[in-house]
Structure 1
Amino acid sequence: MNRSATPEVAILLCTYNGQHYLSDQLDSIVTQTYPNWIMWVSDDGSQDNTLSILAEYRSKWPDGRLSIVHGPGQGFVANFLSLACRADIQADHYAFCDQDDIWEADKLQRALDWLQGVPADVPALYCSRTRLVDADNNSIGFSPLFAKSPVFANALTQNVGSGNTMVFNHAARLLLLEAGATVDVVAHDWWLYMLVSGCGGKVFYDPYPSLRYRQHDANVVGVDLSWSGLWFQFRKLWRGHFRDGNRRHIGALRGLRARLTPESWETLNRFATARDRWLIPRLVGLKQSGVYRQRLSGNLSLIAAAILKKI
């Protein structure tokens, strides 16, 4: 894509029965200080008033600003990947968007300020911290603050950026296209983090909360830092969810061997080999692979998973 003074951003919004909070999200996008954006919405079979709300906004907005398509009906990951891989969507940059958040007015501008400093042929991904709010938009805290570098060795075991904060360039989008819309991965945002960091791209984690991340009973994915939330994560680990996700990611990444840097390929193979060794070589191999999480508690849980062979 050619550089311009005001590059176009395609906002990729996925919806499913989102009538309660969708208008707040759309209104926050209208107030963006960065003006050059279009929106594509993939609805995954909503049975409420979501499509009516979208049709109302489409009628109010200029022609061509809002396009609505039907999703594959296979869950949020497949919906986002199918939208990101649509050949008829072409822009300079792209932004994932959830149906129930509220964007800060400068969200797109902050992302574009950083993305414009990266050469157009280098995959680039912006993500940020979030402000957590309840169903009524009352502030209840922040997502964890990450200080370590967002690189491939981190991406293999942890996603630092929620998809609702992610803005990425066309070079990063081409990686998604090459991998395909049906790739078997845990989450679209985690997959993009692995792709960009593993294929020689640049990832920037902004400590500034770029949006209000609504936490409510209908969240498909949320941020639960309570003891019950941590216990839920441990149960998923014990039942093999983390190990199975690693297996799927390793397979998907190996399918893009030609795109991975030599360093990323070596990290991936060391990590993959360590997973299936017996205890001591498993721990040694994990250390040698260089993979890590952002915080001490995360690294301790990574070691625990390795000891239990749940990695």
Structure 2
Amino acid sequence: MISVCIATYNGEKYLREQLNSILSQLSVDDEVIVSDDGSKDTTLELLKEYVEKDPRIKLFKGPGKGVIANFEFAITQSQGEFIFLADQDDVWLPAKVQTTLAFFHSHPTIDLVISDLVIVDERLETIEPSYFEYRNVKLGFFQNIVKNKYIGAGMAFKSSLKAKILPIPDKVPMHDMWIGLIAAYKKKSALITEPLTLYRRHDTNASEIKTKASFYQQLKWRLALSYVLFKRLFFNG
């Protein structure tokens, strides 16, 4: 069973296209967990329309504490053996689920994978053909503490990892960075170099490709992150 976790907030413009690209790849036993964080547009109406037609979609009221807490809540509701994270404004390419599951089955020691993405504009026109090449994405625990390259829109992981990553500490810069580092510490992560997602960039994205935070702010984040990672990895098993 697969669980796809989506954190929504005012996502009416692109959400329908994303849901359709996901649902077409799932089996009848899979689920899409949607946690909405208090949308003020027509996102909820759109989601309720889908819920009425498709029992695989499970809609929840989010905690109202921002994108990290919203994704965390969605993950806690998931029941699947494999958990995929999905942004509300992207589009999954047709082979995403099949390719990802095949990779997990052929690499049984891996707990988390990140697949490449095509960076596109709001009309899905290509900006960069490979997120991995554009960001020079590489695996590695310490390397990604210093300069994070992990991206949730390309991320999928085994449910067994939930015991390690949850709860997500308040002080981490982003949920995908935390999840990626937890898996990377014991070398349980891998990259799928095939682009499997159209990663849409527009004026209202919740995340940035490259942070605009100051060096001082980034240093504070890294120190706080290192502290909570140390506590989780060495004192929580």
TM-score greater than 0.5 by the shorter chain? yes
* Cα 1:102/1:134, change in 2 over 3 Å: same
CA contact (8 A) 1:155 1:197 kept: no
Structure 2 residue 206 is the aligned partner of structure 1 residue 220: yes
TM-score (norm 1): 0.70
Give 1:77's aligned residue.
68
SS in 1 for 2:172: coil
* Cα 1:34/1:165, change in 2 over 3 Å: farther
Task: Select 1:9's aligned residue among 2, 20, 24.
Answer: 2
Give 1:116's aligned residue.
105
Give 1:130's aligned residue.
117
Give 1:59's aligned residue.
52
Structure 2 CA distance for aligned equivalents of residues 223 and 184 of structure 1: 20
After the TM superposition, which segments of 4 or more aligned residues of structure 1 sit over 4 Å from their partners? 33-36, 146-149
SS in 2 for 1:10: strand
Q: Which has the higher contact order (CA 8 A, sep 6+)?
A: 2
Percent of aligned positions that are identical:
28
Higher Rg of the two aligned structures: 1
TM-score (norm 2): 0.90
Structure 2 residue 196 is the aligned partner of structure 1 residue 207: no
CA contact (8 A) 1:41 1:66 kept: yes
Give 1:237's aligned residue.
214
Structure 2 CA distance for aligned equivalents of residues 221 and 42 of structure 1: 17
The structural deviation recorded for 1:85 is 2.7
- Count residues with an aligned counterpart: 235
Structure 1 CA distance for aligned equivalents of residues 5 and 234 of structure 2: 28
Structure 2 residue 234 is the aligned partner of structure 1 residue 255: no
Structure 2 CA distance for aligned equivalents of residues 106 and 96 of structure 1: 16
Structure 1 CA distance for aligned equivalents of residues 235 and 190 of structure 2: 20
Give 2:179's aligned residue.
192
The structural deviation recorded for 1:138 is 1.5
SS in 1 for 2:228: helix
Give 1:292's aligned residue.
none
Which is further off, 123-132 or 38-47?
A: 123-132
* Cα 1:259/1:71, change in 2 over 3 Å: same
The structural deviation recorded for 1:221 is 1.2
Structure 1 CA distance for aligned equivalents of residues 52 and 158 of structure 2: 29
Structure 2 CA distance for aligned equivalents of residues 141 and 147 of structure 1: 12
The structural deviation recorded for 1:76 is 0.6
Q: How does 1:107-186 map to 2 (within 5 A)?
A: 107-119=96-108, 124-142=111-129, 143-145=131-133, 150-177=139-166, 180-186=167-173
The structural deviation recorded for 1:169 is 0.4
In the alignment, structure 2 segments of 5+ residues that lack a partner are none
* Cα 1:260/1:124, change in 2 over 3 Å: farther
**For 1:37-61, what per-residue CA distance to the aligned partner results, in whole angstroms no more than 9, with x for missing partners?**
2111000000111011111111121
* Cα 1:138/1:43, change in 2 over 3 Å: same
Q: CA RMSD in A?
A: 2.3
Structure 1 CA distance for aligned equivalents of residues 169 and 177 of structure 2: 15
